[in-house]
Structure 1
Amino acid sequence: MPDRDVSPATRRQRNRAVALLVIAGCVNYLDRSALAVGTPEIRADLHLSFEQMGLLLSAFAWAYGLAQIPAGAAIDRYGPRRALGVGLVLWSAAQISAGFVGSLTQFMTARVALGLGESPMYLGGTRVCADWFALRARALPIAIFNSSSALAPALAPPVLTVLMLAFGWRAMFVLAGLAGLGVALAWVRLYRPPHEAGIPRQDIETIHSEDTLHVVHLGLAQVAWLLQFRTAWGMFFGFFGVVYLSWMYATWLPGYLETQLHLSVASTGFWSAVPLAAGFVGAMAGGFITDFLGRSGMEAVLACRLPVILGLLVAAGCTAAGALAGSAGAAIAWLAVGLFAANAASSCGWALAAVVAPSNAVASLEAVQNIGGSLGGTLAPFLTGVVVRLTGSFTPAFLLAGAIALTCAAVYALMARRRIIAPA
């Protein structure tokens, strides 16, 4: 980890915190991905149409998005230890309950509860990194933590497919939920914030030496204050495209490979992992790129924002190329590069909030940004399902996603340019 100007004991504790976040993030996305992996079997078992399946795939994102502001405010007020602990228990229980549903309504309810429970995860994780790492050293740990959002989807297709083929899709959901309960116990027992962890006061002063003044507002007043700034709105609208693209891949890639490229269920589980594995590498690469740019002298905000813009541009082009490719191999290769770039942009987008906002407002700004992302995550699976039904092809849906990514790159370039400074 970067930032060596603290004691070895502090480095050990914060590295343990990042490790716990990565594990929790992997379980988080494993639970999200279970529905996408089980789509064909769930559709057949519950007799759902493509549009109903798209609605079900979107239910999580609606709840997740609506819960962002309350979750962010709770994290900044009560701290990530409590907020993430409660969220882990709630989402794990929701995932287990999904294994016992008998109708679309019941499944929608379970997915809504899953979205509510998972809402503090990435807001709280970014706040943990802001609490434990100095300003110029935050991008890399945030990227390492955020890479779990790509690692889990990469592991999910083969792992969950094996579980589903061996035990059925219902058992797949129950086992994933039980894993979450184990992580909840580990988080509550092992994580403490810096001021409760017994680290030297000098280390805390070193970590926050470059931070701006704390915001005096709390709760919804803090969110209202953030919305006075153009940067906050740029991150809101820009992250829409980042998450729209990644959620289209996460929710419909197995269906695309099986339906349009005519791969078997077993082959789909394997080949889905290729673009998703590239996405994991991209999420990690985003942190190293931002860290390199910052250490080379580039201003911290630009070092985070520039990779977001370039990543969205590359992802837009590669998604369009993958949609128009003439073979399965070419399509998978283009989509792998596209998801690499999209996830690099995502990592740097999360790091951007940790350098533009006062440290005690990071989770609230992340919440604002993530509401925009959740709108993209909500619309991506539903619009993709509608477009596929109307056109009989995934190609127009992929081209639409590329156009959205291109537009949101321009939003980041024009609007998310300056730090948010609290008045003295």
Structure 2
Amino acid sequence: MGGAQQHKALSGLAIFFSVFLPFALGHYLSSLLRTVNAVLAPNLVQSLSLTSGQLGLLTSAFFFSFALVQLPVGIALDRYGPRKVQLVLMLLAGSGAVMFAHGNSFAELVVARAVIGFGLGGCFMSAVKSISSWIAPERLPSVHGYLIAVGGLGAASATLPVRLALQFTDWRGLFILLGALAACVGLLIWLVTPRAAAAAPKMPAPTLHSILDVYRDPAFRKTISLMLVPHAVFFGLQGLWIGRWLSDVAHFSDAAVAYLLYLSMAAVIFGAIAVGMLTEWAGRRGVKPLDVAAIGIGLFLLVQIGIVLNFKPSFQTLSVLFTLIGTITGIEYAIVAQSMPASLTGRAATCLNLLIFIGAFLVQAGFGQVLGLWQANVLHQYPVSAYQAAFGILVLLQLPGLVLYVRRRGRAPAPAAVQAQAEGAVA
């Protein structure tokens, strides 16, 4: 049954409750569990006496396993459909959360965190694949925007709501609850989602050559040269180190940090919607999405430079702006999909996921290692200079991509010149 036929077979309300909502809940939980350590960091450090390096490695294990599972999950989704795949993966994620709740050492928590990442690695892709089977093509961009907004809601739920939950239980009890919720979402998808939505033609597994075709594509390389590192920085810092920076450098209380993180994560919802609207508005005026992204990344770097300069009057504003402006990196997927041949877009999304989450792992783990070069105080807090150095290194890593893009933009012929050349060739 084709997507258009399926779209006619179910009403919009039925599609929302039986297709969009179950898979969106999986993406919601994925975002929540990805960012929850930002609030739980003080509890984890106190319970297990973790160093900054260990905290970074522990939290970033999610990104590493998430990246490793992208290719296998992509193959499984094509062969077995999102309904079956998500049942297995959400049960695996639930098991990982329970393992985390019972972990008594750094190594046990790292393994558990990695299992959670494996289990949640297909949430977004399975949601997109299932929704695409039931939604008319012209409605997909807006529906994908809603899905990203649900992820922002999940990230926001990892802040103040988690802080409130800790008044009734500890972090171990919280992870048992999250594990149960993950299992329930998997069962909900299995029971509620129409079987036809899982029907998909069996596609051959991608070969090494077919994957390399993506990386050889000039449009793909041009996009990631500008956006990959900022995207990895955005993911790697928002889920942990922005919260620690607010605690260690700004000296805000845990409650104040949770509130600011709530505002920051909630900004993802507005940022995702605003980026889409802004990109469409600019496109109608002849501005390419990659140009919009370049401007956004420039602003994103200015925010980070403000942090490096330790601009005290705006600590709260900088923390929120980091997440709000950082959502510009999310249009990387749309730019790649629009600029590459249709035959490569599926593999391109998978390869992009792989690179982004490996990058996020390196950023999150590496940031902790840099902090560890300084001595923490008795409250496990690191000095201002440690954070300035860590943020400064990240700024230096992002600058070359923006400079290269500006240089390429300067060398590119203006549209009028291109048209004149074309007319001359025709004449």
- Aligned partner of 1:242 in structure 2 is 231
2:218 paired residue among 207, 230, 234: 230
1:399 CA displacement = 3.1
Are the structure 2 counterparts of residues 228 and 73 from structure 1 closer, same or farther at C-alpha, using a change threshold of 3 Å? farther
Which stretch has the larger CA shift, 389-398 or 179-188?
A: 389-398
Deviation per residue, 1:298-355 (Å, 9 max, x gap): 69xx44x44433332221112222443433x612212322311211331x22333444
Letter in 2 for 1:253: I
Letter in 2 for 1:352: I
- Aligned partner of 1:259 in structure 2 is 248
1:84 CA displacement = 2.4
- Aligned partner of 2:360 in structure 1 is 377
Kept after mapping to 1: 8 A contact 2:76/2:85: yes
Are the structure 2 counterparts of residues 28 and 288 from structure 1 closer, same or farther at C-alpha, using a change threshold of 3 Å? same
1:131 CA displacement = 3.7
- Aligned partner of 2:423 in structure 1 is none
Are the structure 2 counterparts of residues 122 and 262 from structure 1 closer, same or farther at C-alpha, using a change threshold of 3 Å? same
Which stretch has the larger CA shift, 389-398 or 109-118?
A: 389-398
- Aligned partner of 1:208 in structure 2 is none
Letter in 1 for 2:355: G
1:227 CA displacement = 3.6
1:59 CA displacement = 1.4
Tell me, yes or no, if structure 1 residue 334 matches structure 2 residue 318. Answer: yes
Q: Distance in 2 between matches of 1:164 and 1:241?
A: 32
Q: Distance in 2 between matches of 1:297 and 1:7?
A: 35
2:64 paired residue among 62, 75, 80: 62
- Aligned partner of 1:51 in structure 2 is 53
- Aligned partner of 1:388 in structure 2 is 371
Kept after mapping to 2: 8 A contact 1:84/1:124: yes
Which stretch has the larger CA shift, 38-47 or 102-111?
A: 38-47
1:219 CA displacement = 2.9
Letter in 2 for 1:330: S
Are the structure 2 counterparts of residues 353 and 134 from structure 1 closer, same or farther at C-alpha, using a change threshold of 3 Å? farther
Which stretch has the larger CA shift, 119-128 or 229-238?
A: 229-238
1:236 CA displacement = 5.0
Kept after mapping to 2: 8 A contact 1:94/1:113: yes
1:118 CA displacement = 1.4
- Aligned partner of 2:184 in structure 1 is 182
Deviation per residue, 1:193-237 (Å, 9 max, x gap): 76679xxxxxxxxxxxxxxxx997533354344344233344555
Which residues of 2 match residues 248-287 of structure 1 at below 5 A? 248-287=237-276
Question: Aligned to 1:390, what secondary structure does the other structure show?
Answer: coil
Kept after mapping to 2: 8 A contact 1:242/1:405: no
Kept after mapping to 2: 8 A contact 1:68/1:119: yes
1:309 paired residue among 287, 294, 302: 294
Are the structure 2 counterparts of residues 297 and 186 from structure 1 closer, same or farther at C-alpha, using a change threshold of 3 Å? farther
Which residues of 2 match residues 340-419 of structure 1 at below 5 A? 340-346=324-330, 348-356=331-339, 362-390=345-373, 392-393=383-384, 394-409=387-402
Are the structure 2 counterparts of residues 293 and 326 from structure 1 closer, same or farther at C-alpha, using a change threshold of 3 Å? closer
Are the structure 2 counterparts of residues 134 and 361 from structure 1 closer, same or farther at C-alpha, using a change threshold of 3 Å? farther
Q: Distance in 1 between matches of 2:102 and 2:250?
A: 32
CA RMSD of aligned residues (A): 3.2
Q: Give structure 1 stretches of 5+ with no counterpart.
A: 198-213, 416-424
Q: Distance in 2 between matches of 1:127 and 1:357?
A: 19
Are the structure 2 counterparts of residues 136 and 357 from structure 1 closer, same or farther at C-alpha, using a change threshold of 3 Å? farther
Tell me, yes or no, if structure 1 residue 288 matches structure 2 residue 277. Answer: yes
Which residues of 2 match residues 142-181 of structure 1 at below 5 A? 142-181=144-183
Letter in 1 for 2:368: G
Letter in 1 for 2:365: F
Question: Aligned to 1:166, what secondary structure does the other structure show?
Answer: coil
Which residues of 2 match residues 74-153 of structure 1 at below 5 A? 74-133=76-135, 137-153=139-155
Are the structure 2 counterparts of residues 96 and 120 from structure 1 closer, same or farther at C-alpha, using a change threshold of 3 Å? same
Kept after mapping to 2: 8 A contact 1:132/1:194: no
Question: Aligned to 1:368, what secondary structure does the other structure show?
Answer: helix
Are the structure 2 counterparts of residues 306 and 88 from structure 1 closer, same or farther at C-alpha, using a change threshold of 3 Å? farther
Q: Distance in 2 between matches of 1:365 and 1:286?
A: 21
Q: Give structure 2 stretches of 5+ with no counterpart.
A: 375-382, 410-427
Are the structure 2 counterparts of residues 337 and 47 from structure 1 closer, same or farther at C-alpha, using a change threshold of 3 Å? closer
1:141 CA displacement = 1.8
Letter in 2 for 1:226: V
* Bigger radius of gyration: 2
Which stretch has the larger CA shift, 105-114 or 132-141?
A: 132-141
1:27 CA displacement = 1.0
- Aligned partner of 1:204 in structure 2 is none
Kept after mapping to 1: 8 A contact 2:63/2:357: yes
1:145 CA displacement = 0.9
Are the structure 2 counterparts of residues 287 and 242 from structure 1 closer, same or farther at C-alpha, using a change threshold of 3 Å? same
Kept after mapping to 1: 8 A contact 2:79/2:203: no
Kept after mapping to 2: 8 A contact 1:316/1:338: no
